[in-house]
A and B are shown apart, each in its own frame.
Chain A
Amino acid sequence: MVARLRHGLSRLLAPAVGLCLLLILALAFSQVVLRYLFAASILWVEEVSVMALAWMTWLGAVHLWLNRAHLTADIVPLATWGRWRRRLDVAINALACAGAVALVAVTWQTLNAFAGIELGALEIDARIKYYPVLAGACGLAIAAALELARLLSADPDAA
C-alpha cells in the first residue's frame, strides 16, 4: 500500500515537473524571438516563469525525497549499516515530517499577510506566489510520512 502510494505520487510529480520546465523554456525562447526579431516583449513572462520555476522546485523536491535523490553529504551513513542506518533514516524522516508541517503553518501565516496585495505585471492576488511553497511543504510532509511508514514496516536489520 505504502509502496503503491509512493510510486503513484512519484509518477504524478515527474511529468508535472517536466511540464514546468517546458513552460519556462517555451516562454523564455518566445521572449528571445520576440525581442530580437520583432523588437517586442511580453511583460508577464518573467513573473509567470518565476512562478513555474517555484512550482518545479517545490514539486521536484517532493519527488526527489520520495526517490531519495536529494544532494547529501552522507558521511555517517557511509559508515553505518543495518539497524543504525535505519534508525538514522527514521529520525531524519520523522524530523522532516514535523518540519514540513511547521513550514505549512508558517507559509499559511505568510500567505495571509499578503491578502489584498497584487502582483506587478499580472495584477493578480500576490498570495498565489506562495502556493508552491505551501504545496511543496504539504508534499514533503506526505513524502516523509510515507518513507517513515516504509522504514517502520521494513525488516529492522535491512540496510
Chain B
Amino acid sequence: MLLELAVLFGTMLAGMVLGAPIFFAMAAAVAAYGLAFQPKLPAMVVGQSFMQGIDSYNYAAIAFFFLAGEVMNAGGISRRLLRLASALVGHIRGGLSHVNVLASMVFAGVSGSAVADASAIGSVLVPAMKRAGYAPGYAAAVTAASATIGPVIPPSIPLVVYGLFAGVSIGQLFLAGVVPGVLMGLFLLAASFVVSWRRNYPATDWQGMGELGRAARDAILALLMPVIVVVGLAGGVATVTEVGAVAAVYAIAISLLVYRDLDPKGLWATLQRAALAAVTVLIVISIAGAFVWIVANMGLARHLAAGVAGLSDDPTIILAAIAVLLLLLGMVLEPVTLLIVVVPILVPTARSVGVDLVQLGVVAVLSTLIGLITPPVGFLIYLTAAQAEARAVAVVRELTPFLGALLALLACLIVFPSWTLWLPRLLG
C-alpha cells in the first residue's frame, strides 16, 4: 500500500508544486496510479467517477453561495458594510484596522469565500489605510487575516464541501460556525488593537449615533442574508441547495430593486464571473470522484483508524493531531482541495475515537483556512500584498500577531468542544 500511496500522493503533490492546476495534478495522479497498478483501476471507473464526483444536486449550493457573494459585492454591499463598521469602531485608535476586521465579519455573512472577502474589503480599505499612514504590509496583513473569517461564519463553501464529503448535516455545521466565526473576529480585533496601540495608529472622529443608525438602516437588508441561511437550514425546513437558491435570488433582488447599484448587464457579467469562480472548486470535486474511489479501495481510512486507535483514544488528542496535520498540509494545499482529499480518510478515524464530526468540521475548516495566510503558498498573502503594493515577506512578518490569535482560538476550539457545539445543540 505504501507504494500505491507514494505514486498517488507523490504525483499529485509534484504536479501542484510544479504549478499545474490542482484539478489537473489530481487527474495526473489518478492516471499515474491507473498505469502503475493496471488491474486495480479499470478505465471505465475513471470515466464514470469523473461524472459521479459532481453527480449530486447539493453541489449546486456551492455555485449559489458564490453567486450570492458576487452579486452582493457587485451590488455595492461592501461599501455599505464598511460604512457601518466605520461608524461602529472607526473612532478607536487604529480605527481603520478594526473596521477592516469588523467589515470582514459582517461580509462573512453574505459571502462564503475568503478570496471574495479579501478582494471586496481589501480593494477599498487597503488604499485608505495606506493613505492614513498604516504600513502597507500591515494593511495587507490585517486584510488577509480577517478574510479567513468569511468561510467560518455561514454561508460557508468549505463547510458545505466538508458536510457533503463527511456526510454531516450542513445546517448543523453552519450553526456550529457562528460562535467560532464571531470569536475569530474578536481575537483578531484584540490583535489589531494591541498592534495599533503600540504603533499609535490614527483614529477617525466619532460620527455620532445618527450616522450609526443611518449606516445600520442602509445595510440591514444585507445583514438579513445570514439569518435567512441559518434559519432555513437550522429549522430543517429546507435543503442546502434550496437555501442557497433563496439566498442568491434574495441577493439579486435587493441589488437590482432596492440598492439599484447593479443593472441587468452588470448582473449578467456577475453571473458569468460567479459561475467561473464556482467552477474552480467544482472541477476539483469532479476529479476527486476518481481520487476518492482509489483511496477508499486502498482501505487507507480503515488502516489509519486502526493505527490511530492504538496510539490514543482521547478525542481531544486526536482532534489536535488532525489540526496539526491540516495546518502543515494547509501550507501547500488550498483549503477546499485539502478537505476533499483528507476528509474521507480522516472521518472514519475521528469517528472511531469519538470525535464529534460537527466539531471536527469547524476545526478542520479553520485549520485549512490558516494555510491561506502561511507561506509558502498562502494565497491571501500574495493577493493582499498586490493590493497594498507591499513585499510578501513584509506581509508575512506583519501577520505574526494575527496568526498567533487564530492559532490560540484553534487550540481553544479543540479543548472546549462546547464553543463549537453549543449553538447546534441549542437550536438543532
- Residue numbers of A with Cβ under 8 A of B are 14-15, 17-18, 20-22, 24-25, 28-29, 31-32, 35-36, 46, 49-50, 53-54, 56-58, 60-61, 63-65, 69-78, 88-89, 91-92, 95-96, 99, 102-103, 106-107, 109-111, 113, 129-130, 132-133
Q: List 15 A-B contacts (CB under 8 A).
A: A17-B275, A28-B60, A28-B244, A29-B245, A32-B242, A32-B245, A49-B60, A63-B279, A69-B280, A71-B284, A72-B21, A73-B19, A77-B18, A109-B43, A133-B51
A106 to B46, CA, bound (A): 7
Assess whether B17 is in contact with A73, with CB atoms less than 8 Å apart.
yes
CB < 8 Å neighbour of A53 from B63, B272, B333, B337: B63
Assess whether A110 is in contact with B48, with CB atoms less than 8 Å apart.
yes
A145 to B48, CA, bound (A): 25
Interface residues on B, range: 35 or more
CB < 8 Å neighbour of A50 from B22, B27, B57, B271: B57
Assess whether B333 is in contact with A17, with CB atoms less than 8 Å apart.
no
Q: Which residues of B contact A129 (CB under 8 A)?
A: 51, 55
Q: Which residues of B contact A103 (CB under 8 A)?
A: 27, 46-47, 50
Q: B332 within 8 Å of A by Cβ?
A: yes
Q: B249 within 8 Å of A by Cβ?
A: yes
Given contacts A25-B245, A70-B23, contact A113 B18 (CB under 8 A): no
Given contact pairs A18-B268, A50-B55, A110-B44, a sample of 11 additional A-B residue pairs in the complex whose CB atoms are under 8 Å apart: A32-B238, A53-B59, A57-B283, A69-B280, A70-B23, A71-B337, A73-B22, A74-B377, A76-B18, A102-B31, A106-B43
Q: B291 within 8 Å of A by Cβ?
A: no
In the complex, how many angstroms separate the beta carbon of B253 from the nearest chain A beta carbon?
A: 11
Q: B297 within 8 Å of A by Cβ?
A: no
- Nearest first, the 5 A-B pairs at minimum CB distance are A110-B47, A60-B279, A70-B21, A77-B19, A18-B272
A75 to B245, CA, bound (A): 37
Q: Which residues of A contact B268 (CB under 8 A)?
A: 18
CB < 8 Å neighbour of B283 from A61, A72, A99: A61
In the complex, how many angstroms separate the beta carbon of B7 from the nearest chain A beta carbon?
A: 16
Assess whether B19 is in contact with A60, with CB atoms less than 8 Å apart.
no
Q: B81 within 8 Å of A by Cβ?
A: no
CB < 8 Å neighbour of A109 from B44, B246, B284, B333: B44
Q: B293 within 8 Å of A by Cβ?
A: no
In the complex, how many angstroms separate the beta carbon of A126 from the nearest chain B beta carbon?
A: 11
- Residue numbers of B with Cβ under 8 A of A are 16-24, 27-28, 31, 43-44, 46-48, 50-51, 54-57, 59-60, 63-64, 67, 238, 241-242, 244-246, 248-249, 268, 271-272, 274-276, 278-284, 286, 332-334, 337, 376-377
CB < 8 Å neighbour of B57 from A49, A57, A111, A113: A49
Q: Which residues of A contact B18 (CB under 8 A)?
A: 76-77, 88, 91-92
Q: Which residues of A contact B44 (CB under 8 A)?
A: 106, 109-110, 113
A44 to B282, CA, bound (A): 22
Assess whether A56 is in contact with B17, with CB atoms less than 8 Å apart.
no
Assess whether B50 is in contact with A72, with CB atoms less than 8 Å apart.
no
Assess whether A28 is in contact with B280, with CB atoms less than 8 Å apart.
no
In the complex, how many angstroms separate the beta carbon of B220 from the nearest chain A beta carbon?
A: 23
A24 to B59, CA, bound (A): 11
Q: Which residues of A contact B31 (CB under 8 A)?
A: 99, 102
A129 to B20, CA, bound (A): 28
Assess whether B276 is in contact with A60, with CB atoms less than 8 Å apart.
yes
Assess whether A99 is in contact with B276, with CB atoms less than 8 Å apart.
no
Assess whether A29 is in contact with B22, with CB atoms less than 8 Å apart.
no
A73 to B416, CA, bound (A): 33
Given contacts A17-B275, A71-B337, contact A130 B51 (CB under 8 A): yes
A50 to B334, CA, bound (A): 25
A72 to B377, CA, bound (A): 9
Q: Which of A65, A71, A110, A133 has the most CB of B within 10 A?
A: A71
Given contacts A57-B282, A74-B377, A92-B19, contact A18 B27 (CB under 8 A): no
Q: Which residues of B contact A15 (CB under 8 A)?
A: 272
A109 to B45, CA, bound (A): 10
A109 to B51, CA, bound (A): 14
Q: Which residues of A contact B21 (CB under 8 A)?
A: 64-65, 70-72
Q: Which of B19, B67, B244 has the most CB of A within 10 A?
A: B19
Q: Which residues of A contact B334 (CB under 8 A)?
A: 71, 73
